[in-house]
Amino acid sequence: MDRGVLYIDDDPLLTSAGVTAGIDLCLHIVRKDLGAAVANDIARELVAAPHRDGGQAQYIARSLPEPTARALADTRDWALSHLDEPLTLEALARHARVSTRTLVRMWRQETGITPHQWLLTARVNHARELLEVTDLGIERIAAQSGLGTSTNLRARFRDALGTTPSAYRRTFQRGSEVPERHATP
- Summarize pLDDT for 57-94 with one digit per residue, the tens: 334 444 555 555 678 888 988 999 999 999 999 999 99
Radius of gyration from C-alpha coordinates of the chain: 20
For 10, the enclosing helix (H) or strand (E) is strand 7-10
- When pLDDT is cut at 50, 70 and 90, the band that residue 37 belongs to is confident
What pLDDT digit, counting tens, does each position of 149-168 carry? 999 999 998 888 888 999 88
Q: What is the pLDDT of residue 185?
A: 33
Q: What is the pLDDT of residue 47?
A: 67
Query: Sign of torsion, CA 141 144 150 156?
Result: negative
Q: What is the pLDDT of residue 66?
A: 57
26-35, 52-61, 114-123: least confidently modelled range: 52-61
Topology, domain 73-169: Arc Repressor Mutant, subunit A (1.10.10)
CATH 1.10.10.60 domain locations along the chain = 73-169
At residue 102, φ and ψ (nearest 5 deg) are -65, -40
Which amino acid is present at 173? Q
Q: What is the pLDDT of residue 19?
A: 77
